[in-house]
Structure 1
Amino acid sequence: MKRSVLIFRSFGYALVVIGLSACSDDPGLTEYADKLHNQVHSTLNLPTQTIQAPKPQLQYPAKRDLTQNIERTSMGLLDSLQLNHCQLGQLIAENNSSLGRLKDGFSRYHADLTIIQALKKCIEHPESANVKDKLKEALEHKESQLKHSLANAFARDDGLRKALSVGNNSLPKIHVTEYNYAVNALERFTRILERWSYTQKVDDPAELIKMLGRLERSNYLPDLYRTMLDYSYKLEKMTERLPEIPQSVYCQDEQVPDKALELKKTFNTIYIKEMQGDIAEIIEQHQRLLMTLESLEGIAPQPELKAYIAELGTLSKKLTDASVHFVRPWQKFYSVCKFTPGLD
């Protein structure tokens, strides 16, 4: 369903605006901006210049820049052999196995939290008296490294990295089912991670791993961010190149120039009927993500990652601002000519 996002009431009618684009491998939805730009400049006999941007600078920080060193927590062999009375002994054996050493990302973070829980329980076990001090030392050290484990999960997990990365292409179309598939997975993952991070108590990781798998298989959120960046860029450039509709095509003394009618038809057909509804829905989809992005920003340990996620959360505002500036000359033009947007 097409919706309006930005409403101008000055003329007694609703005029909506919003947009974005850049140098995508596939411009997708933002082709409408190219078409509008070209037709307007052709009508006004102005040189047509392609609007093309470099790859967006907004990128998820590289793994090597986010990865932190973790000091290994260890116990002597004889001490570890005295832990068969509690779950800790089994967990140590599992983590030291070939499969255990392969754990990475949030699987490793889950394993570290599980060890901490087991250490706390084992310390209180009556049969742990001989190794209690060693267990307390191990617990203190393990807890001191937990922040680094979480940082490495944010750095390395491919599912989360993809969900928070800017894609290579704009969306080919707005797809509510695909959006819900991705955003529900990100919301569910974040709720689980919040519970683990703030309580340091974990449950079965199967649901969290499942949500990360969904995010890794979906391109929707990355392409949504790219669409917003691309549309914002194109609207800004269109505004720079046509900050005012030339006075020569304004309606005067009840006379309506042919070029004014052509501009009206172009704007109504491309912007009003095609672009504005898509832009409105793109912004709405992004705004549903804001609380989740704020939560992830709060949990992420690395300052550079916090800054990146915060900037990712500003995309709908940037797109709205670009739209406001783009529509102003059109608003004035429609007012003078007493045109009604969307009607021929």
Structure 2
Amino acid sequence: MLSRQTLYPLFLTLSLLTLPGCERNTAEESFETYHSRLANVLDVSPSPAPETQIIQLADIRDLLIPIEDIRMGLLDAYELRKCGLFHLIAERNSVLGKVQDRTHQLRYELLFMGGLEHCIDTLPQDSELQPELVNFRQLKRKQLPVYFWNMLTSGKEWRQQLRITSLPFALNNFPGKAENQEAIRYLDFVYQAIQGNQTVQQKQAERLLFHQEQIHTHRYFGQLVYSITRSKDWLNTTTRLLEENESIVICGKNRNQQKAEYLNNVFYRFFVTEIQPYLAELDSQFNEIREPLQTILQPPNSATEQYTSYYNHYVAGELHDSFREATMAHVQFWQRTFKRCQIKIGI
């Protein structure tokens, strides 16, 4: 029979686990349990949970690039109604047009460039507006990449994807994955069109608003890279525990290999079954978006040191490389140990 002294802490633990809001993150719990079980088999104290450092996205004031206002006057624009550009300029000069968010601003600029190209192609070549329109097109083309950059780094919905969270993904739950990966591929298409001075058709420009709506409830990229960072830190902490106590694992002919067999059981139960698939999924998801993000988030000449550090670490691949190194070092420990102890994985 269990004593009162034994029942009380058990009851307290069960009560805490059922309190609203006390649900543990399954990935964090799996790493922690894996680490503590290994320490228990090795008969050593587990290491403290690792401290995870993050580089946060720079403030808006350090990222926003000013754009000179070079609107066409309404008197001149009125003559453009025959080629369909007048209503766009009127929309931009309206009260609502002056308070557009950054996504609507880029949408307008893309639509305007499409309309401008149409006017240049359709107005008579001897029209007095032709030289002005051609010159205006050159000026607006130079501004489009800046509108794109400002939307990504200071537009609310897009910026919140880039801010690093402090919550890793759960083992089998990656909210925002499909919506954000589709949005990133779309942004890459828009970026390539802008860089190539190609017209973005109206339906494509309107999709900016669709993707803005799709992603606004998520923090996908920030949560993905935090999950990668946290996994790397736990892997390094656990590998260090194993390597520091490697001599404890006795192997050899006619030797008692019980400790090695217990370690194998923990390895298979937690790492192979839960953690390794999670690591593979994080790696795969990052690879899906790495190249387009490297393109669209390339630091401009005005980029601050903080943003450059952020870009190099999270986007260009420093973090991903160190994550893979941590995974490889952990796997290599087990390969070395199982070979020495002649143990087949999972047996």
Preserved contact between residue 250 and residue 336 of structure 1 (Cα < 8 Å): no
Preserved contact between residue 29 and residue 171 of structure 1 (Cα < 8 Å): yes
Per the alignment, residue 331 of structure 2 pairs with 327
Match of 1:107 among 104, 107, 110: 104
CA distance in 2, matches of 1:284, 1:290: 10
Match of 1:142 among 132, 140, 148: 140
Per the alignment, residue 199 of structure 1 pairs with 197
Per the alignment, residue 190 of structure 1 pairs with 188
Per the alignment, residue 69 of structure 1 pairs with 66
TM-score by length of 2: 0.78
Preserved contact between residue 250 and residue 333 of structure 1 (Cα < 8 Å): no
**2:46 aligns to what SS in structure 1?**
coil
Amino acid at match of 1:323: T
- Do the aligned partners of residues 200 and 156 (structure 1) sit closer, same or farther apart at CA in structure 2, a change above 3 Å counting? farther
Gaps of 5+ in 1: 1-24
Please give the residue correspondences for 1:170-189 in structure 2 after superposition, counting only pairs within 5 Å: 170-175=168-173, 179-189=177-187
CA distance in 2, matches of 1:147, 1:178: 26
CA distance in 1, matches of 2:214, 2:302: 25
Task: Report how far residue 241 of structure 1 moved.
Answer: 3.8
**1:328 aligns to what SS in structure 2?**
helix
**1:217 aligns to what SS in structure 2?**
coil
Per the alignment, residue 273 of structure 1 pairs with 273
- Do the aligned partners of residues 165 and 76 (structure 1) sit closer, same or farther apart at CA in structure 2, a change above 3 Å counting? closer
Gaps of 5+ in 2: 1-22
Q: What is the percent sequence identity of the aligned residues?
A: 21
What is the RMSD of the two structures over their aligned residues, measured on CA atoms?
A: 3.2
- Do the aligned partners of residues 132 and 271 (structure 1) sit closer, same or farther apart at CA in structure 2, a change above 3 Å counting? closer
CA distance in 1, matches of 2:277, 2:142: 50
TM-score by length of 1: 0.78
CA distance in 1, matches of 2:340, 2:208: 57
Please give the residue correspondences for 1:1-344 in structure 2 after superposition, counting only pairs within 5 Å: 27-57=25-55, 59-76=56-73, 78-123=75-120, 125-126=123-124, 129-175=127-173, 179-202=177-200, 203-204=202-203, 205-297=205-297, 303=303, 308-309=310-311, 311-313=313-315, 314=317, 315-343=319-347
**2:85 aligns to what SS in structure 1?**
helix
Task: Report how far residue 250 of structure 1 moved.
Answer: 1.3
Task: Report how far residue 245 of structure 1 moved.
Answer: 3.8
CA distance in 2, matches of 1:171, 1:100: 39
Paired residues in the alignment total: 318
**2:66 aligns to what SS in structure 1?**
coil
Mean Cα displacement is larger for which, 297-306 or 162-171?
A: 297-306
